[in-house]
Structure 1
Amino acid sequence: MRVVVVGAGIVGAACARELARSGLAVTVLDRGGPAAATTAHGEGNILVSDKGPGAELELAQLSRRLWPEILDDLPNRESVEWDPKGGIVVATTGDGARALEKFAEGQRAAGVIAEPMDERALAAAEPHLTRDVAAAVHYPDDAQVQPSGAATALLADALRHSAELRTGCELLGARVEGGRLTGVRTSGGVLPADLVVNAAGPWSGETATRLGAPVDVRPRRGEVLVTTPLPPTVFHKVYDADYVGAVGSGAQDLQTSAVVESTRAGTVLLGSARRRVGFDDRIRPHVLAEIARKALRLYPGLTGAQVMRAYGGFRPYVPDHLPVIGPDPRLPGLWHASGHEGAGIGLSVGTALLLRELVTGSAPSLDPEPFRADRPAVLGADASEGAA
């Protein structure tokens, strides 16, 4: 079977790896370069802490189990920079504490390790964190990777299993015969295919429209501040409990919350922001100022830290906040693996496994029904906005 994967970000790379290792003839197509767009503008988070009970959490739990197994099988795993450092979610108000405790209780019932922390344990784990905390929960399964390194390692393994990579090659449209997708038209010519996987991230809506089967996957903008290297200051991924609300919000206006974490290089990443502005890539000073203000409430000692850069990127947003994984019944031969918003790094390997199982007819590792491509949120009346 000939497969074309559209998109060489981490989701596309993970899908290409799974399909190539299954013996399929895979070609990865990207108009830019590997991991050069959304993946390169992420923080590399692999989280269970921000997901309530349901399909996305189940996909996150599957992915979290898979990551260490996949790393053991990658010849260049060092570039992934796997760091199972865990996460800590804090609430700074009484209302926030009650909401966090209820959220964590529901997660524990779904199998997530969510450990309440008292003041002493929190101070020992994060000595530079503000003491003005009403509640804290530790999530030992949260982890981090270097996103571009992880994506290129997965892609390299796909290439090691005979996949091909075509960069600087733009998808222009579909070749359809007998009502079935039989290939794609590209800036480099026609590529025949028995199966096409739309893994184009925030551009998945545009890609699907070009292929003749629009889906409502829209860009959602996010920004991150990066400090210069600092002495050890932040030891986990730490964020305010309102981050969960920002993730789940469908509001178009600016949503910010305090998210603070370090990297192996000693820099500290400050986030996060979410806003729907189409593909407007301008960085707005007021957004960065709001990110910094909220981050400093958690770590006042960062007040004098120097920010060496800020970056932003687009995340693939679906109105019901669930990825799109599986075949498109409107156009046989078209499959989707997109819509992960800011969770694509963590969910990539679980998505790829589920896709491979569905393609090959294997028993799926989890119920694929919630992610189906023909659900109302994906095929809504405003699906064409995904190409805006």
Structure 2
Amino acid sequence: MDRSRAVVMGAGVIGAACARELALAGFEVVVVDRGGAAAATTAHGEGNVLVSDKAPGPELRLAQLSRALWPGTLERIAERDPLRGRGRAAGAEWAPKGGIVVATTDEGARGLLDFAGAQRAADVRAEVLDAAALAAAEPFVTTAHTAAVHYPDDAQVQPAGAAAALLGDALAQGARLRTGCEITGAVVRGGRLAAVRHRDGTLGGDLFVEAAGPWAGELGARLGAPVAVRPRRGDVLVTAPLPPTVFHKVYDADYVGAVGSGAAELMTSAVVESTRAGSVLIGSSRRRVGFDTRIRPEVLSAVARKALRLFPRLGSVPLTRAYGGFRPYVEDHLPVIGPDPRLPGLWHATGHEGAGIGLSLGTGRLLAELVTGREPSLDPSDFRADRPAVTKEAEV
């Protein structure tokens, strides 16, 4: 019997998660990307799988679903293909290390403790740490703190490795990958998206999933269904490998405000975490500069200054590099997941900004549930593609 064909446009972690779920649901899946797999936004992230930075509401529920799915998903990838799957799962570098949020002002302490209290009411584990407990958990963190909260469920993955694990599992289920394939337009028949155009011809399908991240606005416009998804740039510093120095994901209480801000100007906060290789990642920044790829020294300096407030010890360690990337920003700070009512056959899975790694599994699961008509794991209405923040005219 012929299977329905799903064309997933975008081979980052969101596209990989959607492709995997659709392949497991029995679809013939083709994943296309104008570049390489996980080579753009996914490759320029930190690998955060967080609940700590999300206020009660739909994004937190999606984060909780995703967090619950990660361990079992990696276990099944390893078990399904003993030869290759174990390597794929190991490449994700799953690290359920937990997170610690630190306030360094009285105002920040009040905001952090109120925020954590609201999260606990939404089933988030958020444990207040006294000075001794914080020092035991993070011996090198600043002593000039006013409050700290531990989030045991925060985790980390290696972004490209995690995407490769998901995409590899999709390919093992029969999905196909086409890189260097840029979508240039749509073929609409009977009011429905029937195929997409690319430089070598057309690619037909029964449904098309737009998972183009920051380029979703451009791709949507090419298909005749524009969405107000814009790039927001972030930059990260990387140290040389160090002796054990940072044991959790540690960030200052200003981070949540920076994530939730819609300001175009530069916003920075301290986010510090180690990798399995021993390097420390230092972020974070957020600024709307279009697709300007230049790394700005003043941005890196601002990020470093805030990080040193949390970990003064880092002032003497060597930096090896800096990198930046673009995150898909939506004005109301919610992803876009579901069908586009303006163009039947087109589905969206985009707009996760800097949380795409952590939200990917929940996004793939929810999209597959909606496509197949299964009972959704959570209410999808907040992520619908026809809400005002998505359909408003995108800024130039």
Common fold by TM > 0.5: yes
**One-letter identity of the residue aligned with 2:74:** L
Distance in 2 separating the partners of 1:356 and 1:305: 46
Which whole-Å deviations, capped at 9, do the CAs of 1:171-198 have from their partners, x for residues lacking one? 0000100110001001232000110100
The equivalent of 1:47 in structure 2 is 50
SS at match of 1:356: helix
* Of 3, 7, 11, the match for 2:6: 3
**One-letter identity of the residue aligned with 1:229:** P
Alpha-carbon offset, residue 108 of structure 1 = 0.2
* Of 208, 211, 227, the match for 1:199: 211
The equivalent of 1:35 in structure 2 is 38
The equivalent of 2:28 in structure 1 is 25
Give the unaligned 5+ runs of structure 2: 78-84
The equivalent of 2:318 in structure 1 is 306
Alignment of 1:372 onto 2:384 = yes
The equivalent of 1:347 in structure 2 is 359
Could you tell me the percent identity over the aligned residues? 72
What are the within-5 Å matches in structure 2 for residues 256-335 of structure 1? 256-335=268-347
TM-score (norm 2): 0.96
TM-score (norm 1): 0.98
SS at match of 2:178: strand
Distance in 2 separating the partners of 1:52 and 1:256: 19
The equivalent of 2:59 in structure 1 is 56
The equivalent of 2:246 in structure 1 is 234
Distance in 1 separating the partners of 2:362 and 2:348: 14
Distance in 1 separating the partners of 2:100 and 2:49: 13
The equivalent of 2:229 in structure 1 is 217
Alignment of 1:13 onto 2:25 = no
SS at match of 1:196: strand
Alpha-carbon offset, residue 158 of structure 1 = 0.3
Number of matched pairs = 384
Alpha-carbon offset, residue 85 of structure 1 = 0.2
The equivalent of 1:185 in structure 2 is 197
Distance in 2 separating the partners of 1:122 and 1:93: 16
Which whole-Å deviations, capped at 9, do the CAs of 1:90-143 have from their partners, x for residues lacking one? 100001000000000000000000000000000000000000010000000000
SS at match of 2:390: coil
RMSD: 0.6
The equivalent of 2:160 in structure 1 is 148
**One-letter identity of the residue aligned with 1:91:** A
**One-letter identity of the residue aligned with 1:322:** L
Distance in 2 separating the partners of 1:77 and 1:230: 25
Distance in 2 separating the partners of 1:330 and 1:38: 27
Give the unaligned 5+ runs of structure 1: none
**One-letter identity of the residue aligned with 1:136:** A
**One-letter identity of the residue aligned with 2:60:** L
The equivalent of 1:116 in structure 2 is 128
Which whole-Å deviations, capped at 9, do the CAs of 1:128-162 have from their partners, x for residues lacking one? 00000100000000000000000011000000011
The equivalent of 1:133 in structure 2 is 145
Which whole-Å deviations, capped at 9, do the CAs of 1:60-89 have from their partners, x for residues lacking one? 000000001101111121100000000000
Alpha-carbon offset, residue 205 of structure 1 = 0.6
Alignment of 1:175 onto 2:178 = no
Distance in 2 separating the partners of 1:188 and 1:231: 51
**One-letter identity of the residue aligned with 1:22:** A
**One-letter identity of the residue aligned with 1:193:** G
Which consecutive segments of 4 or more residues in structure 1 shift more than 4 A? none
The equivalent of 1:89 in structure 2 is 101
Alpha-carbon offset, residue 314 of structure 1 = 0.1
**One-letter identity of the residue aligned with 2:157:** V
Which whole-Å deviations, capped at 9, do the CAs of 1:307-354 have from their partners, x for residues lacking one? 100000000000000000000000000000000000000000000000
Distance in 2 separating the partners of 1:141 and 1:183: 42
Distance in 2 separating the partners of 1:349 and 1:210: 27
SS at match of 1:89: strand
